[in-house]
Chains A and B, each alone.
Chain A
Amino acid sequence: MISVRDLWKVYGPRAQRIVGAAEADLPRGDLQARFGNVVAMRDISLDVAPGEVFVVMGLSGSGKSTLIRCITRLIEPTSGTVLVDGADVTAAGKDELLQIRRHKVSMVFQHFGLLPHRTLLDNVAFGLELRGVGKAERRERAGGVLELVGLPSMGDYKPHQLSGGQQQRVGLARALATNPDIMLFDEPFSALDPLIRREMQDEIVRLRREVSKTMMFITHDLSEALRLGDRIAIMRDGRFVQVGTPAEVVMEPADEYVANFVRDVPRSHVVPVDSVMGPASEGPFAGEVESGSKVREAVGLVAHSDLPVRVVSGGRTVGTLDRVGVLSVIATEES
């Protein structure tokens, strides 16, 4: 759905000459002092499959916000191509770009970005209004989406009357209202306190089940990345240092930087049962877990019984997992 090739963003004079050149690898300060350029993002390529949640994780200044803004050219990339649902965003003319922004992609912002002079209903209907949808129709649709995010009958409120969590629900509703195939999330929950953040993450998980969307999600919170991402890209100094599933990132960190990051993550929280289970066998079993679920789900079952648990997929037993298998995962955390 999203396909990015060799994407660069360089700030400063004659940025084009830095792209791909040896100068781009100079230390940040040197490059700025000698050429006046800053490389925000270098040589990024990625593909997001339909229905996938792709999380980009990095600390502030790593270039992740630049990346997500380049997808719809809120920031003009210096070079490279971005394809969205087959359409070349980087080559698109003014009108085509507007059509892509209006119909295909929508974005949820870090500080919500609600327009304070509009009611919630008109905030949610904003995208439809820009598209030229009539007042009655867009309001009706906006009302439906507000209900979907758990804010029914609050359409006449103004944004400042809401709590942070509620405001971001409206931000989410606004992005959903245009019914895009792709949703971009720019650190949407970082301004919320931990409990609300957790609640909102659950909301995303629920939405994924109810409406199938391709999502690109920016965060600086590792646990959020692990919870939500089908795949995670770790970004540092404008480049990807590792791209992989949560289990891959945690179990096989690409370098010391990533290793330091994931050091405190309990392995059992990210390793799927499938990767440690033994061959299927006859019972009896202590219980069952779904194929694809994490090892932690089996911990309780094997702790209270000497019997193994079975791993099921579509009602069929595909493997078994015993106490040794579970403990072997947990044991790696201690080393």
Chain B
Amino acid sequence: MSLAAPVMSSSVESLPTHESDAVRRDRMRRRNGSLAVFAVLAALAVVFLREVPSWMDSGIQRWAQDRYKWSITNRQTSPVFRWLFNPLTDFLTWSVEHTETLLLDLRWPGVVALIAAIGWRTGGVQAALAGAGAMVGVGVIADFDPAMRTLAIMTVSVVIALVIGIPLGVLSARSDRLERVLRVVLDTAQVLPIFVYFSPVQLFFGLKFAPAVVVTVVYALPPAVRLTNLGLRQVPVVANEVGHSFGATSLQQLFKVQLPLAKNTILLGLNQVIMMAFAIVVLASLLGTGDLGQSVLAGLQKQHVGQAFAAGMGIVLMAVALDRVSTGRPERPLSRQNRLPAVPRNWITPISVAAVALVVVLANAFDWRRFPSSLTYDISSPIDSAVDWVQRNLRKDVPIIGGTQAISDFLVIRVLNPMKEFLLWLPWLVIVVGIAFIGWLSRGWRLAATIAVCLLLIATMGTIPGGGGQIQMWDHAMDTLSQVLVAIALSVLIAFPLGVWAGRSDAVHRVLRPFLDIAQVLPQFVYLIPVVFLFSIGRAAGVVACVVYAVPPCIRLTALGMREVPTSPREAAISFGATGGQEMRRVQLPLARKAILLGINQTLLMVLATVIIAALVGAGALGLVSYEATSKPNLKFGQGVAGGLSIVLLAIMLDRLTQAWGTRPNREEKQSR
């Protein structure tokens, strides 16, 4: 007994509760100290600096403007341009122009036949019919010729993305370090709003096709790299061992074992590359490509909803066509594979080639150049009259919801304006210190420092003319931030309950899923059209577009987080007599917390990207600053660069902060360290 006593007491001392008391005391002491530091900083900030002082202007705008001027005068003489960017620009322009010519020379029946043939090869008769049908639809609703230009830009971008992306994927499958680096770089590049890239590509590639292709490739590259990498890494260990054990060289291993086994995943990547390229190519048309995308954007900006809708439908139909023919056939079940296809598989290619050739020859012989006007359907007038009707009848005095104008007014006057004015009213350093403080609470000093640096850098972006004087870039950033905050709050408010519900009820999940699936494929601009239709243009329309765009993924990710919670703890809770609500609040939600917060992090970045793009429908702020510059680079290039950088900084700050919430270790995990 005498021996047992000290053993007992020492084991009691090592129990976690006792130790954690000491840890907690320590933490409290440190927390109090840091609180004091932040309080002092905040007080100083209030007293001394209400506005961003003019000495903080780093002069980046002037610097960038000078670089642009230099690039204009030296474009023909500087070696960087003569030997690198000019040949590249020429090559890209040449590729797009020739692809366009080729597509036009095929004539529209030839293009439809080509799509059908590809569909037949990859997905059978069904895919062929769906692809051809959607392609004819493009001609019926929108203009076929500008659509071919869109298709040409997209084709060139996809080919380049694959030519670069697949080898990069192969390399990153072989090196963990390269994989990590590439993932960070590509993911960052992909979440940034597209306008950020406009100024840099304009500097190096000028306007029209070349910069449009470059920007599109930036977004289309990640899926090519990611899925090639994934496919190769998923090759079973034993398959790799088989190759090596029979004496395969490294190249034999790649081409005879790994790539064939990764084929399906890489094809999935191809499909994603195409869809991503489509989403971007429309926005890239702001660089002056004169394709279908430009009709959409022009229509949106001039509030010709019908025009925007027709062109938008054309692009969506083209996307559907290419999606159908590039999805391919998944692994077919055994029974179907055994059945003989109607046409032997190795006949498909020769037959299709012959058929396409015949159609092209016929189309050229009879000169079916234009899509027959008897087949076209002008969808823009009915849409325009519908818009008129909406404007007349739904703007005001609608029972309960009050009408679109009322909603829009409420959003602007009661929510967006107070939010923006509050952020502008706060002394700017208080915002810096305040958000850094939130960062410190979430993750500690490093996050606080990152946030502070991002915000301080935004303050160095200088001023731009506007509102009869000079406006601080900081103020534009706060305008954007207020829109982001309102949009994310609304999105979460709508999506979180639905997501939780879908996470707990299979029936709800089944009902919502098709909508979520469709929403995932549609590009951002598609959401702008109906929003302008209902809400006209302005900041409210922008916020609504963000919400509409962000709610589906937010629902999906919340539901996913809820569904991934293992069943055993939930069953345990129920077996102890928990009600459904208790089980949800005490078991499922806490266990799903991290996944849901990470979902919100992703949603937030989508919201930011959309807020920026919503500048196209009058949301103003940083988005406007950054894309406006493309049309008047001689005057505004510097502003565009500064605006783009501000967006990047804002994105990094918001991303780091919310990511910290999603990955913050639980208290138990902290203690076990």
Chain A positions near chain B (C-beta within 8 angstroms): 69, 72, 74, 97-103, 105-107, 109-113, 115-118, 126-127, 129-131, 160-161, 174, 178, 184
Give a binary string over B207-243; 1 marks a CB under 8 Å from any A CB, 0 the rest.
Answer: 0000000000000000000000000000010110111
Q: How far is the CA of A35 from the CA of B274 in the complex (A)?
A: 50
Q: Are A102 and B246 in contact (CB under 8 A)?
A: yes
Contacts A109-B241, A117-B263, A161-B334; is A101 near B247 (CB within 8 Å)? yes
Kindly supply a per-residue 1/0 record for chain B positions 240-252, scoring 1 wherever the CB is within 8 Å of any chain A CB and 0 otherwise.
0111111111001
Q: A72-B245, A126-B246 are in contact. Are A115 and B260 (CB under 8 A)?
A: yes
What are the 9 closest A-B residue pairs judged by CB atoms, nearest first?
A101-B247, A102-B247, A113-B238, A127-B246, A113-B242, A117-B260, A107-B245, A98-B247, A130-B248
User: Bound complex: CA of A130 vs CA of B252, how far in Å?
Assistant: 7
Which chain B positions have C-beta within 8 A of A174?
Answer: 246
Residue of B whose beta carbon sits closest to that of A180? B246
Q: Interface range on chain B: under 10, 10 to 19, 20 to 34, or 35 or more?
A: 20 to 34
Q: Is the CB of A109 within 8 A of B334?
A: no
A74 adjacent to B252 (CB under 8 Å): no
Q: Of all chain A residues, which has the CB nearest B259?
A: A117
Query: What are some 22 contacts across the A-B interface (CB < 8 A)?
Result: A74-B241, A98-B247, A101-B245, A101-B246, A101-B247, A102-B246, A110-B238, A111-B236, A111-B238, A112-B238, A113-B238, A113-B239, A115-B239, A115-B260, A115-B261, A117-B263, A127-B246, A130-B243, A130-B248, A131-B247, A161-B338, A174-B246
Q: How far is the CB of B553 from chain A (nearest CB, A)?
A: 34
Q: Which B residues fall within an 8 A CB radius of A?
A: 236, 238-239, 241-249, 252, 256-257, 260-261, 263, 334, 338
Contacting pair B247 A99 (CB below 8 A): yes
Q: Is the CB of A116 within 8 A of B246?
A: no
Q: In this complex, which of B238, B244, B246, B248 has the most chain A Cβ atoms within 10 angstroms of its Cβ?
A: B246
The residue of chain B having its C-beta at the shortest distance from the C-beta of A132 within the complex is: B252
A161 to B263: give the CA distance in the assembly, Å.
20
Contact B244 A101 (CB under 8 A): yes
Q: Complex: how many Å from CA A110 to CA B470?
A: 74
CB distance from B251 to the nearest CB of A (A): 11
Cross-chain contact B256 with A130 (CB below 8 angstroms): yes
Bound together, the chains give a CA A147 to CA B252 distance in angstroms of 27
CB distance from B115 to the nearest CB of A (A): 27
- CA–CA, A100 to B246, complex, Å? 9
Q: How far is the CB of A120 from chain B (nearest CB, A)?
A: 14
Bound-state Cα–Cα, A74 to B237, Å: 11
Residue with the greatest number of chain A CB neighbours at <10 A, chosen from B239, B242, B261, B263 = B242
CB distance from B655 to the nearest CB of A (A): 34
- Shortest CB-to-CB span from B384 to chain A, Å, is 53
Q: Separation in Å of the A287 CB from the closest CB of chain B?
A: 47
Q: For the complex, give the distance between the alpha carbons of A99 and B257 in Å.
A: 19
A108 to B248, CA, bound (A): 16
The CA of A69 and the CA of B261, in the complex, are separated in Å by: 23
Residues on the A chain within 8 Å of B260, using CB: 115, 117-118
Closest to A158 in B: B337
CB contacts (< 8 Å) of A127 on chain B: these are 246-247
**Given contacts A74-B241, A109-B238, A115-B239, are A130 and B263 in contact (CB under 8 A)?**
no
- Tell me if B241 and A113 are in contact (CB < 8 A): yes
| Complex CA–CA separation, A107 to B252 (angstroms) | 18
Q: With A106-B246, A127-B247 given, name 13 new contacts (CB 8 A).
A: A74-B241, A98-B247, A100-B247, A106-B245, A107-B241, A109-B241, A110-B238, A111-B236, A116-B261, A129-B256, A130-B247, A161-B334, A161-B338
B245 cross-chain contacts in A, Cβ below 8 A: 72, 74, 101, 105-107, 184
A98: nearest residue on chain B (CB-CB)? Answer: B247
Kindly identify which residue among B244, B257, B334 contacts A115, using a CB–CB cutoff of 8 Å. Answer: B257
How near does chain B come to A121, taking the closest CB pair, in angstroms?
Answer: 15
A226 to chain B, nearest CB (A): 27
Task: Establish whether residues B261 and A117, one from each chain, have CB atoms under 8 Å apart when the complex forms.
Answer: yes
Bound-state Cα–Cα, A131 to B256, Å = 13
By a CB distance below 8 angstroms, the chain A residues around B241 are: 69, 74, 107, 109, 113
* Contact between B249 and A98, CB atoms less than 8 A apart: yes
Given A130-B256, A160-B334, check contact A115 B247 (CB 8 Å): no
